[in-house]
Structure 1
Amino acid sequence: MWRSRSEARRRPAPRRLLPLLLALLLTACGTGAAPAGPAGGPSGGPSGGPSGGPSGDVAPSVPGGDVVGVPEATVPAAPAPPAPTRPSLADLAEQVAGELSAESVVQDVLGADMSWPQCAPGLGIPEKRSSGQPRPVPEAEYVILGLTNGPGVSPNPCLAEQAAWTRERGMLLGAYAVASYPEPRFVEQYGDDGPFDAATPAGLLANVGYQQARFNLASLREAGMAQVPVIWIDVEPVPDFEWSSDLEANAAVVTGLARGYRDAGYGIGVYSTTALWDAVVGDLALGVPEWRAAGQTSREEALRRCGPEASIQGGEPIFAQWVEADRDMNISCPGPIRLSDWFAA
């Protein structure tokens, strides 16, 4: 990710909604309960039924302690009231969670992203060794994990562990992958392996981009993240793995990546800034959703980047990112968002 430093299974209700879930459960559990008696346990009496006393008829008492008999023929016993029905706690939880999931259109959702820099120190390729940077804050509702370790054909060395870490904390999972210009050996190896016309230079490069996507999807599956619905394509300069000076050639690689993910059934979006995108791929317009970076600024500046003046390639702004205390922070852009469209549990 860009930094200015050196470097449908039913989805659970978001953690921010858990207080509401608890309140609804407590309210529902009280529905139909008997009024509390003057003594005894939760049912209002020592062994009694739902009416608050022992089952059967009890003769009324009078001052002095004498018991007045009740003639059976003249005062029939009152029928016992029907026992209130109480749904089990599990049923209530499933019902409420289902309702919340169906209505999980929320706003201003805080999240994060992390990748190889947050792996334990010393992992990864020589040019991109991890350094154990801080992981997402506990308040994050989702984490977008990087599939690559720098260039597009080098895997994040701790992706599976990061996916497990995210799930253990009840956060939703997303995925992004850095795009990079291929080395000549990859063009020779993969240039004719794909859906594009290998007889043209642009087709060769697009086929290599297509294979980059397939490589990253293999990493996604190996980490147990195949259910993620969208892959964000990270387009920016990659130190030590520079893009070419030919913007059309670079655009061909990104076009191949986009098709590779789509052909595998994934939605796509792009991560970048207006300046970085233009510097790498020129006026390429995929028209896909955008995740916009604001660098080491603030939440306020990140939200400002959701505006039309910060458009990257003509797509809808979905998330914005800023760096704070050595962490990549993210916020959903203004307006309602359905988290299940972008993340998996």
Structure 2
Amino acid sequence: MLVLLACWAFAAIVGLAGAPGAAAAPAKGGSATPVGNDVSWPQCNKLLPTGQAFGIVGVNGGLANNTNPCLADQLAWAQQSSGGTGQPLVALYVNTANPGTAGSWWPISNQYGGTTVNNPYGTCEGAPDEACAYMYGYAKAYDDVHLRGVGNPTVYLWWLDVETGNTWSDDQVANRADLEGMTAYFQSIGARVGLYSTSSQWGQIVGQVPAGSNLNPLPSWLAGARTLNGAKNNCASAPLTPGGRVTLTQFVSRGFDYDYSCI
């Protein structure tokens, strides 16, 4: 993640690649609790943990509009996961952002990928408003599915990595629309979607999510813990959205992100 998933893994919250190797296991206090790992571009060519219960791989290279250069190797690593939790053996996460017209690309219509998108915010005409933010998110999700080299994209749970390290609007409704557009595209292909953040970052970027939003029922993956016990305790924290549920938490140990399944 920009840098919550592999920046928190170097400080606490965005990835890995190269040939899998043995990395130090987290301190578990003698517990046999199964945990997973999330990895992405910062771990390219580094030794990866072994024996992980599940693996979550970053699709992007730190920004919503690029690709993790080690994606294939990291997916192969994740597929060796041992299981034993309520999480899928392999999941993905994608960077998110709402750069507006300051970005390298910004939509000017409701058309993308050869489709006229049903936009709940109206017609995008190139302004940095909710309608175009929705289209931007939709387009980034479309690109993640079609341009990043992910085979069988419908089978994965796609986590949306929402962090203040990426570029966001001051308009929380536009930011929410952006994430709703991403969610709508992933769900349109039959894929599952979840939300990754901390409560403070989510509150700053998105704020309150209304009941009618497609973000409302999505599961939450909470970052911010420093230990396995802290991650376990975070399972009882409030989800990012009122209709969601905390199903996964993250902690950092010895330079790697570890993840505890709450289900």
1:176 maps onto 2:93 in alignment = yes
Give the corresponding residue for 2:29. Answer: none
Q: Output the CA distance in 2 between the equivalents of 1:214 and 1:108.
A: 36
Q: Output the CA distance in 2 between the equivalents of 1:243 and 1:180.
A: 6
Contact map agreement 1:198 1:207 (CA 8 A) in 2: no
Which one of the candidate residues 313, 316, 333 is aligned to 2:245?
316
Root mean square deviation, CA, Å: 2.5
Q: Choose between structure 1 and 2: higher helix proportion.
A: 1
Give the corresponding residue for 1:325. Answer: 254
Which one of the candidate residues 191, 208, 218 is aligned to 2:146?
218
**Deviation per residue, 1:250-299 (Å, 9 max, x gap):** 1111111111111111111101111110111111252211111124x101
Q: Give the AA of the match of 2:123.
A: A
1:259 maps onto 2:184 in alignment = yes
**Deviation per residue, 1:286-316 (Å, 9 max, x gap):** 2211111124x10111111111x43211211
Which one of the candidate residues 169, 185, 195 is aligned to 2:118?
195
Give the corresponding residue for 1:54. Answer: none
Question: Percent identity between the aligned chains?
Answer: 28
**Deviation per residue, 1:145-183 (Å, 9 max, x gap):** 011111211111110111123335667211111111135
Instruction: List aligned pairs for 1:229-248, cutoff 5 A.
Output: 229-238=156-165, 241-248=166-173
Give the corresponding residue for 2:198. Answer: 273
1:292 maps onto 2:209 in alignment = no
What's the secondary structure of 1:231's corresponding residue? strand
Structure index of larger Rg: 1
Q: Give the AA of the match of 1:226.
A: P
Structure 2 gap segments, 5+ residues each: 14-31, 84-88
Give the corresponding residue for 2:58. Answer: 146
Q: Give the AA of the match of 1:232.
A: W
Determine which structure has greater relative contact order: mean sequence separation of CA pairs < 8 Å that are 6+ residues apart, divided by chain length. Answer: 2
What's the secondary structure of 1:310's corresponding residue? coil
Contact map agreement 1:191 1:205 (CA 8 A) in 2: no
Contact map agreement 1:182 1:208 (CA 8 A) in 2: no
Contact map agreement 2:94 2:160 (CA 8 A) in 1: yes
What TM-score results when the alignment is normalised by the length of structure 1?
0.57
Q: Choose between structure 1 and 2: higher strand proportion.
A: 2
What's the secondary structure of 2:79's corresponding residue? helix
Contact map agreement 1:115 1:147 (CA 8 A) in 2: yes
1:167 maps onto 2:79 in alignment = yes
Give the corresponding residue for 2:136. Answer: 208
Which one of the candidate residues 98, 105, 114 is aligned to 1:186?
105
What TM-score results when the alignment is normalised by the length of structure 2?
0.74
Contact map agreement 1:191 1:208 (CA 8 A) in 2: no
